[in-house]
Amino acid sequence: MRLSEKEKRRLADYRADYRTVFQSVHGERVLADLCQRHGIFDPCHVPGDAYSSAYNDGRRSVVVDLLRYLNTDLERLTNLLDSPYGDYDPRGDCPKIWQMNPACAVLMMSAS
């Protein structure tokens, strides 16, 4: 399939937009969060449950496509997953209930 010049420019603009969003400090954290939430490094197979396996694989595949589109350095991403906030621990000053679910703590702190 041959792309017209207009389509090629549009795709180049999309790629530039994705890079602008996800290569910022905040975008990298969001990308790391998407990887964790959607099991990018976890098996998606659920023994005896083809529907759950397909669901998990679908969630995972969206993030994998995004990573490929961005040509993400997986080693850098792994480091970001291990320590998305550097030395800062967002759970340090939050109520005990939030400490049970770190993802919830991050969402609740960003909402306030």
User: Using CA atoms, how far apart are residues 18 and 10, in angstroms rounded to an integer?
Assistant: 12
Q: What is the pLDDT of residue 85?
A: 59
pTM: 0.60
Greater confidence (46 vs 104) lies with: 46
**What are the residue ranges spanned by the domains of the chain?**
5-85
- Per-residue pLDDT of 36-60, as tens digits, reads 888 887 888 899 999 999 999 999 9
